Amino acid sequence: MFRLAHISDAHLGPLPDVTYRDLASKRVLGYVNWQRNRRRHMHDAVIDTIVADIKANAPDHLAVTGDLVNLALDGEIEMAKLWLETLGSPHDVSVVPGNHDAYVPGAFDKVCRSWAPWMTGDGVNSPVDRNSFPYLRVRGNVALIGVTTARATAPFMANGFFMEGQAERLGRILDDAAKQGLFRAIMIHHPPVRGAVQQHKRLFGIARFHKVILRHGAELVLHGHSHLPSLFTIGARAAKVPVVGVAAAGQAPGGKHPAAQYNLFEIDGEKDAWRVRLTRRGLTGPALPPSDLQTTDLDVSAVKDRELVRS
């Protein structure tokens, strides 16, 4: 059995010192949002508690699906690197960037350089850049496939993009992993389903992503961005692929979104007969540490159509 933990949207704080030059961009809007909203509901103590519970449950691997930072300031990117080092070895932790990690032009490249050990595929020695995605890591009988949707966008926009070149590369990786009899888990930041988030936050290329999944297959898709513990599916009948979201890892109780959670998957079986059990763990109120919020059995061959649970 392979045990895979999943967190997203840590939005690590507090912000480092911000200069007027830093704010001469889209960042000024994010800075105002942080001061008015996020800093009140996103807390490092919450993240620390979630991470401690993950470590206590000792998963085989941890997937982090983006938005580690807020404004993609240089200081934030470095702080996030230090945080990743506390999560575990790059061999045991896989990251994909989110829209906040690519908040302004140039930030994505800095993230790729700083977080490269956690975003590098097996056997790859070249520098990490946009063309490095999707990357593939094989751990046990699980293929962990990291897709990026992160790109700097205009003010008031938080969209993601899944373009043709990455789609072609993803298809080849999925086919190769299937030939090896591996359980294929895709990590992506933006939810690749319609209606999961508001229009200004949605993914461009949803139809393209679905086409790849329907043609090449997959067993599980993990995403963040929505800050919701959701479950959707791609496909129909016996070919349904679960698409699983998670509450933001730094969300304190009492906000408009569910309090912090993480997903813990138990993956067992073999090709065409996989069994997946999902446990959601997180905060149920102001008291710490986390307690079980929901335990859900997921049968990848018979999962329900839309959302199964929203705590």
Tokens of 208: 């393209």
Return the pLDDT at 157.
84
Nearest Cα to 57, choosing from 264, 214, 307?
Answer: 264
Asked, for residue 305, whether it belongs to a domain, the answer is: no
d(CA 253, CA 241): 31
Question: Which residue segment(s) compose the domain that 114 sits in?
Answer: 2-298
Asked, for residue 157, whether it belongs to a domain, the answer is: yes
- 13: CATH: 3.60.21.10
Asked, for residue 244, whether it belongs to a domain, the answer is: yes
Asked, for residue 201, whether it belongs to a domain, the answer is: yes
Q: What is the pTM of this model?
A: 0.88
Write the pLDDT tens digit of every residue in 118-158.
Answer: 999 999 999 999 999 999 999 999 999 999 999 999 887 89
Instruction: Render each residue's pLDDT in the chain as its tens digit; 311 residues.
Output: 999 999 999 998 765 556 545 555 555 444 445 455 555 555 668 898 899 999 999 999 999 999 999 988 998 999 999 999 999 999 999 999 999 999 899 999 999 999 999 999 999 999 999 999 999 999 999 999 999 999 999 887 899 999 999 999 999 999 999 999 999 999 999 999 999 999 999 999 999 999 999 999 999 999 999 999 999 999 876 678 999 999 999 888 877 888 899 999 999 999 989 999 898 888 866 555 555 555 555 555 444 433 333 33
Beta pairing class for 142-146 and 183-187? parallel
Asked, for residue 87, whether it belongs to a domain, the answer is: yes
Report DSSP state, residue 37: I
d(CA 60, CA 6): 11
Nearest Cα to 90, choosing from 67, 110, 61?
Answer: 61
Asked, for residue 304, whether it belongs to a domain, the answer is: no
Asked, for residue 309, whether it belongs to a domain, the answer is: no
Based on the structure, what is the number of domains in the chain? 1
Asked, for residue 59, whether it belongs to a domain, the answer is: yes
